[in-house]
Structure 1
Amino acid sequence: MWDERISQATKDGKIVVANFSATWCGPCRLIAPLYSELSVKYPSLTFITVDVDQLTEFSSSLDIRATPTFFFLRNGQHVDKLVGANKPELEKRVVAFAESTSIDERKSPLISIKR
């Protein structure tokens, strides 16, 4: 599923914002509403949520050591990373990436990747 979503985003010229989180993680739950809001507000980006407990090996392969961790990818390549539930910083980075791309305003669904 990850490869498919990244491939589609690359084909569409979209930047990916990937949220690596866990259901038991308090900070993840605190930032989830903002993340969801940003996914609606910035449809020029693709937002993906990855449950680190369900995709442990995959998360480890990307060196995810804390939750939440946000990865930003352009053309399938990692371009930025934010560790922690820093709401102002997450919004700042999402806005910056959204402004750096001029893609059509189709709705960008919030995708959850699970087993």
Structure 2
Amino acid sequence: MGNCLGRNRDEDDFDSKVNFTGGNVHIVDSIESWDEKISEAKKEGKVIIVNFSASWCGPCRMIIPFYAELSLKYPQLVFLTVDVDELPDLSSSMDVHATPTFFFLQDGNHKDKLVGANKPELEKKILALAESSHCSK
């Protein structure tokens, strides 16, 4: 499935601000926001799915509506999105080398990772986490 390894310099920047949210997806636009969301989820015992995306990335744009749909389907999970260009230090510290990259965190720890806009695999991983978090309640 598709993923972007670097910015395509030939693309127009007129639409570089793509809204990566929808449904129940929260934008993380600062380190403080990241820390707050991670802390809240840990406190509530919720699993977090993080979408590291870029506005210029075609596969990222393609997966946005599906990711938003999943956030509504699995409200017991926390869905976040991070624009790699807005928070390069966070993206780097998370070892993001391609977009989209999805991280699955539980208790603040990395549980799993998916690189690329692979809808069936993303849904499979989210379903497994939703079922495991439901059983642990």
Please say whether Structure 1 and Structure 2 have the same fold, judged by a TM-score greater than 0.5: yes
Give me the CA root mean square deviation: 0.9
Q: Distance in 2 between matches of 1:57 and 1:15?
A: 23
Answering whether residue 81 of structure 2 is matched by residue 13 of structure 1, we say: no
TM-score by length of 2: 0.74
What do residues 9-57 of structure 1 show as CA deviations (whole Å, max 9, x unaligned)? Answer: 0111100000000011000001111100000110010000000000011
* Relative contact order higher in (CA < 8 Å, ≥ 6 apart): 1
Residue in 2 aligned with 1:109? none
Q: Distance in 2 between matches of 1:6 and 1:21?
A: 18
Unaligned runs of 5+ in 2: 1-32
Structure 1: 4+ residue segments shifted above 3 A:
none
Structure with greater strand percent: 1
Unaligned runs of 5+ in 1: 104-115
Residue in 2 aligned with 1:49? 81
Percent identical pairs in the alignment equals 65
Which residue identity lines up with residue 34 of structure 1 in the other structure? Answer: F
Residue in 1 aligned with 2:26? none
Match of 1:92 among 114, 124, 132: 124
